[in-house]
A and B are shown apart, each in its own frame.
Chain A
Amino acid sequence: AQSVTQPDIHITVSEGASLELRCNYSYGATPYLFWYVQSPGQGLQLLLKYFSGDTLVQGIKGFEAEFKRSQSSFNLRKPSVHWSDAAEYFCAVGAMTGGSYIPTFGRGTSLIVHP
C-alpha cells in the first residue's frame, strides 16, 4: 500500500526567506503526487500536481515542487515566503487501490512565518 511521510510537523521561516517542505512517498509504480494548502478554518486547496514528464512542476501562489524518483521525494519550494503563506501543507499520493482511486495524505506540515 502507498504511504506519505512529511517529516516536519512545524516549519518556521522569516518573511522573505526561502522555503522547502519535505515529502517522501512509498508506492510501487509511478505515483501521481499532489500538494495541498489549508488556511485556518478552510478546506484544502490544490497547490500543484505531478503526473509525468517534467519533474519540476509549477503551482499557484509562486510554489513549485520537484519530483525525484531516486529519492521517492516530492518537496515543495518557494523562493520568498509571504506572511499569507502561513498555513498547513499536505502532500498526497494518488493511486488505484482495489479498483478505486483512494488518495493517501501525509500528516501535514504547519508553516509559521515570522515578520
Chain B
Amino acid sequence: NAGVTQTPKFRILKIGQSMTLQCTQDMNHNYMYWYRQDPGMGLKLIYYSVGAGITDKGEVPNGYNVSRSTTEDFPLRLELAAPSQTSVYFCASSYGEYSNQPQHFGDGTRLSIL
C-alpha cells in the first residue's frame, strides 16, 4: 500500500529558483490537498483539487501554483523561491464527496530556501 507519495523528501533551494514538489496517490481519491506546516502554526492549506482539471486556492496560495491533469497526481510548483517559503509541505488526499472521510497524508517534503 503506497498511499500518498511525496518527492523529494528534502530540498535546498536558492532564492529565485523554481521547483516542483511531486505528489501521487494510488487510492483513487478525488480530493487532493497541499499544506504547509510551520512550527507552532499547524497546517495551512495552500491549494486543493476536487478532481482532475479542477483546482482552487486555499488559505495561503501566493507564490505557488498547482495542476491536476490526472486523478493520481497533484504537483505543487514554486516559481520564484523566497525565504518565507521555507517550510514542510504535506500532500493529502480523501474521498471528498463525504465530509466524514479522513485525509491520508504523505510523509512531507522539507524545503529550505537560502
Contact = CB atoms under 8 A, between A and B. Distances in A.
B4 interface: yes
Given A43-B90, A100-B56, 20 more contacts: A32-B99, A41-B108, A43-B4, A43-B92, A43-B106, A44-B43, A44-B92, A44-B103, A46-B102, A51-B100, A100-B31, A100-B48, A101-B31, A101-B97, A101-B99, A101-B101, A102-B48, A105-B42, A106-B42, A108-B42
B96 A100 contact: yes
Interface in A14-44: 32, 34, 36, 41-44
B50 interface: yes
Contacts of A51: 100
A49 B43 contact: no
A24 to B, nearest CB: 14
A11 interface: no
Interface string A74-109: 000000000000000010001110001111011110
The B contact surface, by secondary structure, is loop
The residue in B56, B94, B96, B99 that gathers the most chain A C-beta atoms within 10 A of its C-beta is: B99
Contacts, number: 60
A-B CB proximity, top 8 nearest:
A43-B105, A107-B42, A101-B96, A32-B100, A94-B99, A44-B105, A51-B100, A46-B102
**Interface size range on B against A:** 20 to 34
A71 B48 CA distance: 31
